[in-house]
Amino acid sequence: MATEEAKTVVPESVLKKRKREEQWALAKKQELDARKKKARENRKLIFGRAQQYAKEYESQERELIRLKREARMKGGFYVSPEAKLLFIIRIRGINAMHPKTRKILQLLRLRQIFNGVFLKVNKATMNMLQRVEPYVTYGYPNLKSVRELIYKRGYGKLNKQRIPLTDNLVVEQGLGKHGIICVEDLVHEIMTVGPHFKEANNFLWPFKLKAPLGGLKKKRNHYVEGGDAGNREAYINELIRRMN
């Protein structure tokens, strides 16, 4: 006990250090409180968004059914719009490849066998796919596929590093400036090829899938002739289930 009488000499550096530590502790507490508050607000925001997305997905499905029924009643056809989103999986190895197709696969970030990426559909990408068709299989993923892939095998590119998407903070750090602050936002952006699809897709490291349980039918042939390569439209989902 340092009383007035028994005055121990406290070195000035210790006093300074104590003061500094107080300040740091205070700053830390403030920061922690601010972060907690922000996280709580974020949580509400994320929940609201997730609800809105769930409604959106459901209404999209019902809309499709309604339009088809309407067309059939009138004796016409409802042609649903072509898919905007593709999921590509590389199914062949790296040996003996033409340099041009090798380059295209590199551009698509498919450098390893059973790597998968999402891709927006437009004339440019479709032409690229045409060149590499014998080496990949692709199709139209549904919501469950997109969700499962991102939740189970989603990794983000932060500072050129492959960081697992364990927390919404990772997503926020990577894509916060585009308004994507949680994994559900990311799923929504990918699924409904949104305005920031390019950034969101690039943020996602290419998916490293396992070899498909139950096997592939015949890599060397196109899907249409009994094999595996090329466009298999909705049946990509079944393959993703086996490879995820």
Partner 1 sequence: MIKLFSRRRFDMVAFRFHQYQVVGRALPTAADEHPKIYRMKLWATNEVRAKSKFWYFLRKLKKVKKSNGQVLAINEIFERKPTKIKNYGIWLRYQSRTGYHNMYKEYRDTTLNGAVEQMYNEMASRHRVRHHCIQIIKTATIPSKLCKRESTKQFHDSKIKFPLVFKKVRPPTRKLKTTYKASRPNLFM
Q: Which residues bind partner 1 (CB under 8 A)?
A: 77, 79, 223-226, 231-235
Residue with smaller CB distance to partner 1, 61 or 233: 233
Tokens of 171: 């997503």
Residue with smaller CB distance to partner 1, 153 or 232: 232
- What is the 3-class SS of the chain, one letter each residue? CCCCCCCCCCCHHHHHHHHHHHHHHHHHHHHHHHHHHHHHHHHHHHHHHHHHHHHHHHHHHHHHHHHHHHHHHCCCCCCCCCCCEEEEEECCCCCCCCHHHHHHHHHCCCCCCCEEEEEECCHHHHHHHHHHHHHEEEECCCHHHHHHHHHHHCEEEECCEEEECCCHHHHHHHHHHHCCCCHHHHHHHHHCCCCCHHHHHHHECCEECCCCCCCCCCCCCEHHHCCCEEECHHHHHHHHHHHC
- Residue 67 to residue 69: CA distance in whole angstroms: 5
CB 232 to partner 1: min, Å = 6
CB 224 to partner 1: min, Å = 4
Residue with smaller CB distance to partner 1, 85 or 204: 85
CB 170 to partner 1: min, Å = 37
CB 101 to partner 1: min, Å = 21
Residue with smaller CB distance to partner 1, 172 or 238: 238
Residue with smaller CB distance to partner 1, 25 or 71: 71
Beta-bridge partner residues of 115: 208
CB 193 to partner 1: min, Å = 21
Q: Angle, to 10 degrees, between the axis of helix 143-153 and the axis of helix 183-191?
A: 140
Residue with smaller CB distance to partner 1, 68 or 102: 68
CB 71 to partner 1: min, Å = 9
Residue with smaller CB distance to partner 1, 156 or 227: 227
Residues 135 and 230: beta-carbon distance below 8 Å: no
CB 77 to partner 1: min, Å = 4
